[in-house]
Chain A
Amino acid sequence: MISADHLERQLQTIIDGNRILPPQPSIPVKITVFPENEQQISELVKWATKDQITLLPLGGGTHTFSGIEDLHVAISLTKMNHQIEHVSEDLIATVAAGMTFKDVQTDLSSHGQMIPLDQPGKHNSTIGGMVSANVSGPSRHRYGTARDWVIETRLINADGKVVKSGAKVVKNVSGYDLNKLYIGARGTLGILTYISFKLAPIPKSSVTFRSCYNSLTDAFALTHLIRREYLDIEKMVIIKGKWTPGKTKHWWLLIDLAGTEIGIEPQIKHLSKLHDQVEARRWNITSKEDSQHFWNMACNREKSDDTISNEDIWEVRMVLPKRELLPFLVDLTISDEMNVSFKIFPTSGICTIEFVGKKSTVTNILNFIIKEVKVKKGLVEFVKMPPDTNFERWPILPPSFPWIQKIKRALDPNNIFAPGTFIGGI
């Protein structure tokens, strides 16, 4: 057992003492360091390799780590937050991994540009953390995910060397595209230090439609209609429960139309007509403030009620072939004892369900979900679950898993980067 004191003494030879702190309670490590540049990270990695120390790369620490064994040192990138190079005529920006997404977006928005990903949960999410976790939200309807926008990365690899992949250009087939591997790798292949993105222009005008339905099938009806129409839809989500402001029993569908000031008008009329054709209980075009409030809640709401203990929260995210999602969700039998919330990206086949309940009440349905999604060749991730449960965070392994293990072994031979934190315990 390596003690925190021992680690601290060792770390002090690499990094200033006031950059070494005890960990936040939610992070499963003994100690946290806050390096300020690539050189320091590189030295930390070399030391870790030599002394068999395990490292947990960390952004804002907003990620949840249910069911993970303790590691040694968290490397927080939050002090690498000072650089940004933005060339607006190229629609490209390079960002230090520790910058918060919010700060970057604020900076870019003054030029009418953005990284078209959604602000996840908390405001201190860092760019590096978002890319490593490959987060996405309602904008993926139009913009896809980080893999569509990251064009260059710098990463400190297992040798403690800086390795670059890609370039600050929007099209590139020079060598292997390692960016794709690092996106969503949750820090298990190295420590991302800088990331370049292609950017999108912020639409000149946008309008939010909100509609409410008695059933999920009714809510999906509009999304099906829309697919046959021509509309510039930027965001879309179906929500129920804690992700809606009133925690109502109804299903909400939020849709953002976005476009030019003149061009959007006929589209508003068109989408309004479509709303009249479906079985909505009611629908309206929301005010700017309401719209912001609704999207915030749909993307970010952590807990609807502070009296609920973390021990009773199970958040499960699943990805299915698009056509399978609705029938699958309709078939789920959810008992009245369970307090359930849904967040669905209908055009991407993605759904997150939060169950609040004791293990005994949720186990059956969770097992059913895993079994059914596996048959449909989908993906399941337990985003949150109480400690000491026997669910794997990623209960379905892809057929390529042996190759995933081989990649991990090749790029992190000493298993120092976040071991045991990712799919199949890699």
Chain B
Amino acid sequence: MAIDSIFISNLLSLLGENRVITHPDELIVFECDGLTLHKQMPDAVVLPKSTEEVSEIIKLCQTNHTPFLARGSGTGLSGGAIAVEGGVIIQMSLLNQILKIDYEDEIAVVQPGVINLNLTNETSPDGYHFAPDPSSQKACTIGGNVAENAGGPHTLKYGVTANHVMGLKVVMPSGDIVELGGKIEEFSGYDLVGLFVGSEGTLGITTEITVKLIRNPEGVKTFLATYNTINDASNTVSKIIESGIIPAAMELIDNLVIQAVESHLKAGFPTKADAILLIEIDGVKSTLTEEAKRIESICLSQNAVNFQEAETMEERNLLWRGRKEAIGALGKVTPAFYTNDGVIPRSKLPEILEFDLDIGKRYGLEIAHICHAGDGNIHPIILYNPDNKNEIKHAIKISEAILKKCIELGGALTGEHGIGTEKLSSFGIMYSDNDQNQMLRLRKVFNPTDLLNPGKIFPEGAKCGESRINQTIKKGGWI
């Protein structure tokens, strides 16, 4: 239901003027997340400072039949944080305290608005870090990471967010405050923490998170392997995995991205290479030299034309800056691009990359690649001109075709960005009606009125919201 002045005055009396936003000029910032393709203005944005306030806001929304959803930093790339049906966005940025760091139990308790990198910065002087390291880690929140089950380059060895969350305090869509999991290593009864992580903010709103802290490794080695063909680079990936080495990270970057990065910051990527692999191993120092030798010999056997190790910390940091800022760098060489997040079993990497390049050619659009290759998580980035309607259509078609191919190859629609509003139409390629019904039954347990974050993940639920989404692509936007 649209919101009226009584509802707004209830919000105001709960939170005060400074923490309720209703003016359209201010609301515009909240009309989309990192997926600028889908837009919808919320009717109001509120900024709670406590779990209890979140609960009160939710109760007000329920009474008024107003849709609501949580939002972290809005860096999500699948439209998860848009108010598809209008309503209230609960902005978590004032819930931004690290509540506890406990090295004895190796955990931290944080509020959801804590920025991912801040936790690592806080704990690294003591030799610890928070393992999930999305490229957006300077900006995204841990609450958003939990909702999207975020990954990052080092997911290969350390796992995704789900592997690092032990407990959640959640405000259910009923307004009830419930603790799931806790500070112990197992869950009694069903693993509700596991269910909530990655549920894209559709089952409840997280207000406190207990995460594992991981000890920094004793040693790290970072390598740059250069290839004349992207095929050789991608073949190397499964050869390394099959040999019994799990690197900490193994990223594949193609020539288009290399060019963009080098013109942006000179990370030391070879501009003539068709592709590079950025490989990192870490762990106990005594094992690294041997592993390094084996990796080098596998890379060379797969036709790497150069294999070099970052000799200093500065060199290593620069290589990683090149990787983490690659998307930003691409933004400088193309007016717009569309990032895909398909996943395939890693041995299918050569096949999917060939498919991408092919389909790009067919539609006359360039596709750049930055892949979390070790995980089989590809990020084909489709470059297009936002002033050309045909190119926009083609970009979307290409992305859908790539996802379909990923499923054909035994993969999945999204490795880390989520379904959101973006991949609603593809959801049915991966999951049958029966599969979806099983999930919808759960959604109904927690979110029976469907007022929490409607129009996400499930094509069924999205129908009512579709009419309000405004599909536009702005210049320079990442769709």
Interfacial residues, chain A to chain B (CB-CB below 8 A): 87-92, 112-113, 134, 140, 144-145, 147-148, 157, 159, 161-181, 183-185, 189, 200-202, 204, 230-232, 259-267, 319-323, 348-350, 377-379, 381, 394, 396-401, 403-404, 406-407, 410-411, 422-424, 426
Contacts and interface: CB of A to CB of B under 8 A. Distances in A.
A399 B283 CA distance: 38
Contacts of A401: 189
Contact of B192 (A90, A168, A404): A404
A90 B373 CA distance: 12
Given A171-B155, A267-B286, A350-B186, A176 B242 contact: no
Given A163-B435, A167-B412, A267-B284, A177 B197 contact: yes
Given A260-B290, A400-B192, A174 B413 contact: yes
A53 B27 CA distance: 56
B346 A230 contact: no
A409 B330 CA distance: 50
B189 A398 contact: yes
Interface residues on B, range: 35 or more
Contacts of A113: 244
Contact of A173 (B242, B287, B417, B439): B417
B180 A145 contact: no
18 contacts: A89-B238, A90-B347, A168-B345, A169-B344, A173-B200, A173-B415, A175-B436, A178-B438, A181-B442, A201-B244, A230-B283, A232-B283, A262-B290, A263-B288, A398-B189, A400-B180, A400-B192, A403-B178
Contacts of A166: 412
A322 B183 CA distance: 8
A410 B184 contact: no
Contacts of B438: 157, 163, 165, 178, 411
B414 A410 contact: no
Contacts, number: 254
A178 B244 contact: no
Nearest to A112: B244
Interface in B336-356: 343-347
A113 B438 CA distance: 33
B44 to A, nearest CB: 28
Given A163-B435, A167-B412, A411-B442, A319 B192 contact: no
Interface in B18-68: none
B122 interface: no
A349 B184 contact: yes
Contact of B246 (A87, A201, A264, A398): A201
A172 B435 contact: no
A169 B345 contact: yes
Contact of A398 (B188, B417, B437): B188
B218 A230 contact: yes
Interface stretch (B3-11, B112-120, B158-166, B300-308): B158-166
A157 B441 CA distance: 12
Contacts of B189: 394, 397-398, 400-401, 404, 422-424, 426
Given A88-B242, A89-B346, 19 more contacts: A90-B238, A90-B376, A167-B410, A168-B410, A172-B343, A175-B457, A176-B443, A180-B162, A181-B190, A184-B190, A230-B283, A260-B290, A263-B287, A377-B183, A403-B192, A407-B442, A410-B441, A410-B442, A423-B188
Contacts of A259: 284, 286-287
Contacts of A396: 188
